[in-house]
């Protein structure tokens, strides 16, 4: 029974994210006057289907809850004498319509992240203990509970930023500065003679005095108010996107992390695990999946939104579109490649589940 609930929950969350993506295309396309033939939740045989008289759009619920789609009239072909056909609309309207899907996923990710930060907070670094004798000698007013808000001039709002900031600072001589906040007041301190390796280890000392750590750190949860959570949700997602792009670069150029890529089955399993772990994990996974959908769909690859946007850019530069037949063939090849990748990843997912691999 737990497995059934896990699968249903996974399918539901994934479907909501994909439908949100498609609704972005739908709403902007409709606003731009593009003729829409169908808006479907799910794939496969129709369970419910109705043509709305007001806009003559077919709204459907289909048997396979694996996402959804919007069918624009004239999207993959030339249609003469129909100004509302997708390919007959101005390039800027087609661009906005294509971009709207990924942007809707960004909006969903921002909202979910804001709810996460308000409800459960996120981890920050605070001082756990100090070498009081060394503090007195240095004249540093640092106390347990002081929160790290800056390292080497980099603003720090989340614990995951500390090693990033230290690496990006480029302080080769081992000198670094830190801002610590207490009761709304930020105090700044400079430390000398500390290596980057020591600095990146949050549980190690940041300096040494007579063999005792000058400072020891711990991570604690910090909850955020509405406006702060909403503002910081952009930064939280920006950090995640940065990590995602680093992963993609390593995967594409160095073949790193191939075993960490999940297909549809693996994604459902991850969501199911999140459901069992609790609402906080569900929110984290939902935000990650939503921003992942946005980033992946914006890649300039055939059959993806990014690929179609690339064709629009070429059309703008040439002053005329690429042959629709050629574009259709390229998108078909891209679609087949994506299906092949999905099959390969699904095989990997199933093999991993059978063998009990991570």
My answer on whether 331 and 189 are in the same domain is no
State the Cα–Cα distance between residues 229 and 223, nearest whole angstrom. Answer: 8
With cut-offs at 50, 70 and 90, classify the pLDDT of residue 269.
Answer: low
State the Cα–Cα distance between residues 138 and 146, nearest whole angstrom. Answer: 17
My answer on whether 141 and 115 are in the same domain is no
Q: How far is CA 160 from CA 18, 264, 342, in A?
A: 28, 28, 31
In a domain, 108, yes or no: yes
Does 252 score more than 80 pLDDT? no
SS3 string, 60-118, reads: EEEEEEEEEEEEECCCCCCCCCCCCCHHHCCHHHHHHHHHHHHHHHHHHHHHHHHHHHH
Which residue among 222, 254, 281 closes a domain?
Answer: 222
My answer on whether 147 and 283 are in the same domain is no
Instruction: Kindly state the average pLDDT of the residues 297-318.
Output: 89
My answer on whether 243 and 192 are in the same domain is no
Provide the pLDDT for residue 97: 97
Provide the pLDDT for residue 277: 73
My answer on whether 94 and 139 are in the same domain is no
My answer on whether 109 and 244 are in the same domain is yes
Please state the domain count of the chain: 2
Provide the pLDDT for residue 326: 81
My answer on whether 13 and 75 are in the same domain is yes
Between 281 and 265, the higher pLDDT residue: 281
With cut-offs at 50, 70 and 90, classify the pLDDT of residue 209.
Answer: very low
Instruction: Kindly state the average pLDDT of the residues 153-173.
Output: 64
Does 116 score more than 80 pLDDT? yes
My answer on whether 210 and 259 are in the same domain is no
Instruction: Kindly state the average pLDDT of the residues 60-70.
Output: 84
Between 205 and 352, the higher pLDDT residue: 352
Which residue among 159, 190, 222 closes a domain?
Answer: 222
The whole domain housing 144 covers 122-222
Instruction: Kindly state the average pLDDT of the residues 81-86.
Output: 88
Contacts of 194 by beta carbon, 8 Å cutoff, 6+ apart:
174, 175, 176, 206, 207
DSSP at 159: G
In a domain, 50, yes or no: yes
Domain with residue 202: its CATH number is 2.30.42
Give me the residue label for tokens 């574009």.
327
State the Cα–Cα distance between residues 21 and 305, nearest whole angstrom. Answer: 11
In a domain, 314, yes or no: yes
My answer on whether 325 and 348 are in the same domain is yes
My answer on whether 178 and 313 are in the same domain is no
- Strand runs (DSSP E) across 134-214, as ranges? 147-151, 154-155, 176-182, 185-191, 208-209, 212-213
Which residue among 175, 195, 222 closes a domain?
Answer: 222
In a domain, 227, yes or no: no
> How close are the terminal C-alpha atoms of the chain, in Å?
22
Calculate ∠ Cα 108-6-63, nearest 5°.
75
My answer on whether 251 and 315 are in the same domain is yes
Provide the pLDDT for residue 98: 96
Between 12 and 192, the higher pLDDT residue: 12
State the average pLDDT for the chain: 79
Between 66 and 225, the higher pLDDT residue: 225
Instruction: Kindly state the average pLDDT of the residues 242-266.
Output: 64
SS3 string, 234-263, reads: HHHHHHHHHHHHHHHHHHHHHCCCHHHCCC
In a domain, 245, yes or no: yes
Does 170 score more than 60 pLDDT? no
**% pLDDT > 70, the chain:** 75
Contacts of 223 by beta carbon, 8 Å cutoff, 6+ apart:
117, 118, 119, 120, 121
With cut-offs at 50, 70 and 90, classify the pLDDT of residue 71.
Answer: very high
Provide the pLDDT for residue 25: 96
In a domain, 231, yes or no: no
In a domain, 103, yes or no: yes
Kindly report which listed range (49-58, 75-84, 176-185, 232-241) carries the lowest average pLDDT score: 75-84
Q: How far is CA 145 from CA 125, 166, 236, in A?
A: 9, 21, 23
C-alpha closest to that of 26 among 81, 104, 84: 104
My answer on whether 149 and 198 are in the same domain is yes
Does 167 score more than 80 pLDDT? no
């Amino acid at each position: 029974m737990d497995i059934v609930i896990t699968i249903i929950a996974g399918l539901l969350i994934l479907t909501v994210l994909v439908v949100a993506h498609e609704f972005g295309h739908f709403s902007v396309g409709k606003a731009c006057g593009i003729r829409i033939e169908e808006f479907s939740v799910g794939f496969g045989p129709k369970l419910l289907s109705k043509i709305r008289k007001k806009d003559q759009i077919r709204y459907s619920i289909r048997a396979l809850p694996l996402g959804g789609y919007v069918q624009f009239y004239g999207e993959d072909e030339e249609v003469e004498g129909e100004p509302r056909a997708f390919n007959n609309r101005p390039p800027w309207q087609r661009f906005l319509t294509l971009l709207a899907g990924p942007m809707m996923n960004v909006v969903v990710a921002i909202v979910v992240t804001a709810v996460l930060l308000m409800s459960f907070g996120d981890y920050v670094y605070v001082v756990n203990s100090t070498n009081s004798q060394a503090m007195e000698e240095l004249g540093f007013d640092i106390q347990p509970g002081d929160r790290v808000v800056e390292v080497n001039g980099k603003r720090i709002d989340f614990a995951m930023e500390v090693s990033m900031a230290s690496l990006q600072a480029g302080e080769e001589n081992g000198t670094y500065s830190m801002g610590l906040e207490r009761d709304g007041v930020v105090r700044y301190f400079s430390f000398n003679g500390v290596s980057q390796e020591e600095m990146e280890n949050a549980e190690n000392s940041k300096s040494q005095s007579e063999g005792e750590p000058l400072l020891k750190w711990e991570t604690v949860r910090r909850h955020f108010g509405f406006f702060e959570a909403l503002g910081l949700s952009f930064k939280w997602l920006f950090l995640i996107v940065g990590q995602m792009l680093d992963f993609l670069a390593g995967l594409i150029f160095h073949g790193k992390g191939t075993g960490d890529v999940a297909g549809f089955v693996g994604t459902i399993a991850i969501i199911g695990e999140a459901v069992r772990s609790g609402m906080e994990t569900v929110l984290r996974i939902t935000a990650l999946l939503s921003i992942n959908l946005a980033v992946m769909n914006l890649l300039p690859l055939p059959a993806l939104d990014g690929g179609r946007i690339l064709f629009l850019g070429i059309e703008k530069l040439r002053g005329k579109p690429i042959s629709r037949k050629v574009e259709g063939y390229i998108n078909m090849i891209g679609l087949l490649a994506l299906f092949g990748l999905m099959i390969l990843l699904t095989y990997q997912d199933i093999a991993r589940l059978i063998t009990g691999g991570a």
